Amino acid sequence: MHPPETSGDFNEALPGREMRIYSLALISAFSGVVFVPASAVAHHSAAEYDRTKTITVQATVVEFRYVNPHPQLFVDAKDENGNLVHWDVEIGPNPAELLRIGWGKKRSNAALAPGSVITVTIAPSKLSALHGVAQKIITADGEHVFGAAVRFEN
């Protein structure tokens, strides 16, 4: 929609309703330019993790969050000196991918319930200690949680 040509002030060129429609179109276009690229870059890169190194720990689940963009697992484990440490572990696949392979929220929450003992293999973060992405999760009874899906690239 193009405003009619006038010799005077732009605000006088369009009657009230047409001005509101034109203004809404401009605001919408501006919002698309500003906000869409921001959401496109909001997701982080898998480069944060050092996949050439892994750490395997026996741990107790403190909390599991089945959330986007990636589920989060918080566990307590012992370090090499026997001290209790708190790991923050990201699960590579997002909930939609996990659901497609049969790991919905209910099944995931049951397998990773607080107090559950698991063995988790972690690719550590290059940016912060005690944070990483899960490479393998095995429950005390030998079940591979999420199967091979945790090896997906983020």
Query: How confident is the model over 68-117, as pLDDT tens digits?
Result: 999 999 999 999 899 999 999 999 889 999 999 899 999 999 999 999 99
- If asked whether residues 26 and 99 sit together in one domain, one would say no
pLDDT of residue 84: 97
* Closest by Cα among 67, 44, 48, 45 to 124: 48
pLDDT of residue 139: 95
pLDDT tens-digit series, residues 21-35: 776 766 766 666 555
- If asked whether residues 52 and 98 sit together in one domain, one would say yes
- If asked whether residues 52 and 82 sit together in one domain, one would say yes
pLDDT of residue 86: 97
Task: Evaluate whether residue 59 is within a structural domain.
Answer: yes
Look over the chain and give the mean of its residue pLDDT values, rounded to a whole number. Answer: 81
- 27: amino acid identity, one letter: I
Cα–Cα distance between 28 and 14 in angstroms, integer? 19
Cα–Cα distance between 83 and 120 in angstroms, integer? 17
- If asked whether residues 56 and 26 sit together in one domain, one would say no
**Would strands 117-124 and 84-90 be described as parallel, antiparallel, or unpaired?**
unpaired
Task: Evaluate whether residue 2 is within a structural domain.
Answer: no
Cα–Cα distance between 52 and 123 in angstroms, integer? 8
* Closest by Cα among 108, 115, 96, 114 to 137: 108
- If asked whether residues 31 and 57 sit together in one domain, one would say no
What's the CATH number where 84 sits?
2.40.50.140
Please report, rounded to a whole number, the percentage of residues in the chain having pLDDT higher than 90. Answer: 55
Domain of 16? 10-40
CA distances from 90 to 60, 63, 153, 154 (A): 15, 12, 12, 10
Task: Evaluate whether residue 1 is within a structural domain.
Answer: no
- If asked whether residues 28 and 63 sit together in one domain, one would say no
pLDDT band for 20, please (50, 70, 90 cuts). confident
- If asked whether residues 17 and 66 sit together in one domain, one would say no
Number of domains the chain is built from: 2
Task: Evaluate whether residue 84 is within a structural domain.
Answer: yes
Cα–Cα distance between 104 and 95 in angstroms, integer? 7
Q: What is the pTM of this model?
A: 0.68
- If asked whether residues 18 and 57 sit together in one domain, one would say no
pLDDT band for 5, please (50, 70, 90 cuts). low
Structure tokens at 87: 């790991």
- 7: amino acid identity, one letter: S
pLDDT of residue 50: 83
